Structure 1
Amino acid sequence: MSVSIKPLEDRVVVRPLEAEQVTASGLVIPDTAKEKPQEAEVISVGPGRFSEDGERIPVDLKVGDLVIFSKYGGTELRYDGQDFLVLSARDILAVIER
């Protein structure tokens, strides 16, 4: 299913990846004990913000990138039955290269 959420300025829409529900030793982690996910897939990227000179500064991400983001960053959003986060590009800490 294609999602059409277009973020503004330097914001990025991501879909958080689910945290592991079973540990390597086979223990099941209940939802109440799970940490908030910090990895996500980039769904859409804004055009970038403007510098003081009026130049647009593009965001260095593309749709499909896997990223690590700040634990408490972003705004949670439920759209069309799916969970997303809208993050500022500054809240994204790294791109995961696989």
Structure 2
Amino acid sequence: MPSFESFHVVGDRVLIRPERGEARTEAGLILPASVRAKDAVEGGRIVKVGPGHLTANPEYSDAEPWAPARDAVRYLPLQAFAGDYALFLRNDAIEIEYDGETFLILPHGSLLALVRPTHPEDADDFA
């Protein structure tokens, strides 16, 4: 498994390890990955998330030089966390290869649903 210590996702994006391979239909047919790639919705495990949505900091003011320094912007955190299973819109994803493995980067707004483990020990360790 690749090390993600120096890999940083920016803004409101998430890094996902997509599900790949064959899938079985309700009728028992096996669909190869090439057929599944045409599906609009795909699933995968979230590996890393960006810092969030960039917004102005309402506490920032340069009119009071004696006040403690504050950043002019701040990030609103994302709803997704590393270890969550996500259903997402495949067309919005950008495929990358990192350390010999294929991943997808997509905006948080392209996530449709999250499945979060109820116990921390059930989540995969991506850190």
TM-score range relative to shorter protein: 0.7 to 0.9
Give the fraction of aligned pairs with identical amino acids, expressed as a percent. 29
**Cα RMSD after superposing both structures:** 2.1
Q: Which segment is superposed worse, 19-28 or 80-89?
A: 19-28
**Residue number in structure 1 paired with 2:16:** 14
- The reply on whether 1:94 has 2:113 as its aligned counterpart is yes
TM norm structure 1: 0.81
- The reply on whether 1:56 has 2:58 as its aligned counterpart is no
- Post-superposition offset of 1:92: 1.1
- The reply on whether 1:26 has 2:45 as its aligned counterpart is no
What per-residue deviation string (whole Å, max 9, x for no partner) do you get for residues 23-57 of structure 1?
Answer: 34332223432244611100001111311442311
Unpaired stretches in structure 1, ≥5 consecutive residues? none
- Post-superposition offset of 1:22: 2.9
What per-residue deviation string (whole Å, max 9, x for no partner) do you get for residues 42-82 of structure 1?
Answer: 00011113114423111112110001111311211111111
**In 1, distance between residues paired with 2:54 and 2:35?**
41
Unpaired stretches in structure 2, ≥5 consecutive residues? 58-72, 118-127
- Post-superposition offset of 1:19: 5.5
Aligned length: 98
Q: Which is richer in helix?
A: 2
**Residue number in structure 1 paired with 2:97:** 78
Classify 1:31/1:42 alpha carbon distance in 2 versus 1 (closer, same or farther; 3 Å).
closer
